[in-house]
Structure 1
Amino acid sequence: MARILVLEDDKLFNETLEDFLEEEGHVLHCTLDPYSALDLTYEHIFDLYLFDVNLPYENGFELLEKLRQSGDETPCIFITSREDKASLKEGFEKGGDDYIQKPVDLDELFLRIQAVLRRQVRSQIVQIGAYQFDILTKTLYQNDQVLELSMKGSELLLTLLEGQGRVVPLDQIKERLWSASEEASDGALRVYIAQLKKYFPTQIQNVRGVGYQMSIK
């Protein structure tokens, strides 16, 4: 399951993409204009962007360029009716990962999405200072020795790493750590943050009243 941001100003096609991808098990956030899409990137951490190119106000290339300049490395597939090689080149130069032309074959789009998401997993081990974190098993190591970390502490570490240096909002952290049937606890969250700060005393920062951010440098 991936969290996907769809930016497509054709309302009918936007709804078609939403229905199709939700049926495939993904979580969709859909918008019709780049300004709303930009706002959503501050509210959520996405696994993939699907951006139309020809949009009101600014095109999809320009929006992705802004995101890349801010340090956002979320993979992006452009969806467009453009056929010229210059546009294709521009899309990749702005940081795009793939490109599909309209009219879109939904089965082909699904295969392209799967391919891009698989490429994300290739970096299974994340190096954080003197430590290594396996993002698939959610296990923290130092020199091949497994370190003590609670289940929620591991999930919190993964959530902060997915933020790629950005502030992860408190609501989003609680949504990841506690199920709908559980009551989220600010006190418990502080305990899990303290667990991580034993290993990462300087990398994790509290943005008071907003959330937490983490640097892996």
Structure 2
Amino acid sequence: MKKKLLLLEDDIALNETVVDYFENLDYSVLSVYDGNSALDAIYENNFDLLLLDVNVPDINGFEILKSIREQDVTTPAIFITSLNSMIDLENGYESGCDDYIRKPFALKELKLRVETILKREFFHNDSNKIEIDASIYYDTANDLLSVGGDDIQLKNKEAKLLKLFLQNKDKLVTHEAIYATLWEYGEEISESALRTYIKNLRKYLGKEKIVSIKKLGYRFTTK
């Protein structure tokens, strides 16, 4: 499945250059030129990584990232900016970014930074153990689910599905996104198998944790 990037950059020439470069590397890139459009895109799509210029029209990159972090959006982000003071650097990291690259930059350097971040599965989490609720934990390194002290070894596709839900808590995860995550290119997609994986996860986690959204997909809820 192609990794999906959001690019916020108001310099038209640089925007087009970055888009062309990453699309040639088989990424999917949605580009916008102002802060409001970036926020709309973030709330309407599931991105793997955000590339955010700081000085853009409407809302600057720092404020965008600070705002979405307050809404528990953990999508990793790299700031692309000409700002170079230590105060600017501190502001960038305090707003919740994962990396920071100064203009002008080599496209290959940006590529390496993107690839390094995307190798991680969970963001803004210092442990391999994810707390799902007071008595349920998920060990992401070993695909081991601990429920009330009992350990359950998840099967491959069950683990992929749970990771996808945990990366998109309280957000709609479409059937298309699930199919693209669970089945490799060329594999036959099985709706009945997906229903089985959902049934098993509900059995482990509680039926109320995974809400069916008719004809659209599912939502993993923390409410």
Q: TM-score higher than 0.5 here?
A: yes
Shift of 1:14: 2.3
Structure 2: give runs of 5+ residues left out of the alignment: none
2:209 to 186, 203, 211: 203
Q: Deviations over 1:87-117 (max 9, x none)?
A: 3333233222332211113343344435544
Q: Matched residue of 1:96: which SS?
A: coil
For 1:195 and 1:119, locate their aligned partners in 2 and report how far apart those are by CA, in whole Å: 26
Q: Deviations over 1:149-196 (max 9, x none)?
A: 443322211111111332222321222223454554544433321111
Are 1:135 and 2:140 an aligned pair? yes
Aligned residues: 215
9-18 vs 96-105, which moves further = 9-18
Are 1:154 and 2:159 an aligned pair? yes
Shift of 1:74: 1.9
Query: Aligned residues: percent identity?
Result: 39
Q: Deviations over 1:41-81 (max 9, x none)?
A: 23443332110112222221222122112111222111111
> TM-score under structure 1 normalisation?
0.78
What letter matches 2:219 in structure 1?
Q
What's 2:28 paired with?
Answer: 28
Q: Matched residue of 2:63: which SS?
A: helix
Structure 1: give runs of 5+ residues left out of the alignment: none
Are 1:214 and 2:220 an aligned pair? yes
2:183 to 178, 187, 199: 178
For residues 119 and 190 of structure 1, do their structure 2 counterparts lie closer, same or farther at Cα, with a shift above 3 Å needed?
Answer: closer
What letter matches 2:96 in structure 1?
G
Instruction: Determine if contact 1:8/1:32 at 8 Å carries over to the other structure.
Output: yes
What's 2:5 paired with?
Answer: 4
For 2:164 and 2:120, locate their aligned partners in 1 and report how far apart those are by CA, in whole Å: 19
Are 1:93 and 2:97 an aligned pair? no
For residues 134 and 4 of structure 1, do their structure 2 counterparts lie closer, same or farther at Cα, with a shift above 3 Å needed?
Answer: farther
193-202 vs 58-67, which moves further = 58-67
Q: Deviations over 1:103-150 (max 9, x none)?
A: 113343344435544666663332333344343454434547443x44
What's 1:14 paired with?
Answer: 15
Instruction: Determine if contact 2:47/2:75 at 8 Å carries over to the other structure.
Output: yes
What's 2:106 paired with?
Answer: 105
For 1:38 and 1:18, locate their aligned partners in 2 and report how far apart those are by CA, in whole Å: 19
Q: Matched residue of 1:5: which SS?
A: strand
What's 1:124 paired with?
Answer: 128
What's 2:57 paired with?
Answer: 56
Q: Matched residue of 1:30: which SS?
A: strand
Q: CA RMSD in A?
A: 3.1
What letter matches 1:162 in structure 2?
Q
> TM-score under structure 2 normalisation?
0.76
Q: Matched residue of 1:57: which SS?
A: coil
Q: Matched residue of 1:89: which SS?
A: helix
1:166 to 168, 171, 175: 171
